[in-house]
Amino acid sequence: MPHPHEHLTRSPLFQDLAPHDLDAVLAAARRHAVRRGDVLFRQGEPAHIVYMLTRGEVKLTQIRPDGREVVLRYVGPGEIFGGIAALGHGEYPVTAEVAEAGETLTWDGDALSRLMERYPRIALRALRLVIDRVHELQERIVELATQRVEQRIARALLRLARKTGRKVQGGILIEMPLSEEDLAEFAGTTLYTVSRTFTHWEERGIVETGRERVLIRSPEGLEAIAEDLATSDNPSAF
């Protein structure tokens, strides 16, 4: 096994802890392999456990009474999730489904609370992390309230690219199975509109898509759409 602190130091949450204290944190954690499709917890369940993803990809969704699903966040390696509930109120506000196989570290919520009282820096770090999430969520609210679907899809893609994109020759590949329906639920639209948008973009050479696969050929083109700049190459399109 590699250095046991490897995964922990990767997370901002534990960044300014001394190695000795990291041991204490690690000792309280458990390790689990997770597979695509696994549901780690469901919206409404009592929240006891805090997760950290070390490999893979997890999708956090909320399901409405009418069955419509909204993706609130894609979680990548090094990120914490579920903690937000386990430290706050009693229930998970979202459902966590594994989008790509990987591995998690888990803590008992109470144990983590105690660690935080002992190591206030963890609490402060956690606070900063959650604050970043607030900013991100606020940004999405503003987007949903003011932007058109095409711009929102562009932004959703760029966000995913930043998180799980890998540079390959010819563009940036989103390294996780991402269906058009997933993307629609992330951008707050329908799979039909995503499909049509992709068709247009493909004609303009901005993306290349396949079954659950997206390759961004022109990040600049996407940015331009996201920022609502006049798209000089074809102003009348759309």
**Residues forming the site for DNA (CB under 7 A):** 148-150, 179-181, 188-193, 195-196, 198-199, 209-213, 238
* Min separation Cβ 222 and its own copies, Å: 17
Exposure of 112 in the CB half-sphere (CA atoms within 13 A) = 28
Out of 25, 94, 172, 206, name the contact with its own copies by CB under 8 A: 94
Give the DSSP H or E segment for 55. strand 49-63
Q: How many CB atoms lie within 10 A of CB 125?
A: 19
Q: Does 66 bind its own copies (CB under 8 A)?
A: yes
Instruction: Tell me the C-alpha distance between 154 and 98, whole Å.
Output: 24
Instruction: Tell me the C-alpha distance between 37 and 3, whole Å.
Output: 29
Looking at beta carbons only, is 202 or 228 nearer to its own copies? 228
Question: Length of the chain, please?
Answer: 238
39 binds, among its own copies, DNA, none (CB under 5 to 8 A by kind): none
210 binds, among its own copies, DNA, none (CB under 5 to 8 A by kind): DNA
Instruction: Tell me the C-alpha distance between 155 and 74, whole Å.
Output: 14
Q: Which residues bind its own copies (CB under 8 A)?
A: 62, 64, 66, 68, 70, 72, 84-85, 87-89, 93-94, 113, 116-117, 120-121, 123-124, 126-128, 130-135, 137-138, 140-142, 144-146, 188, 228
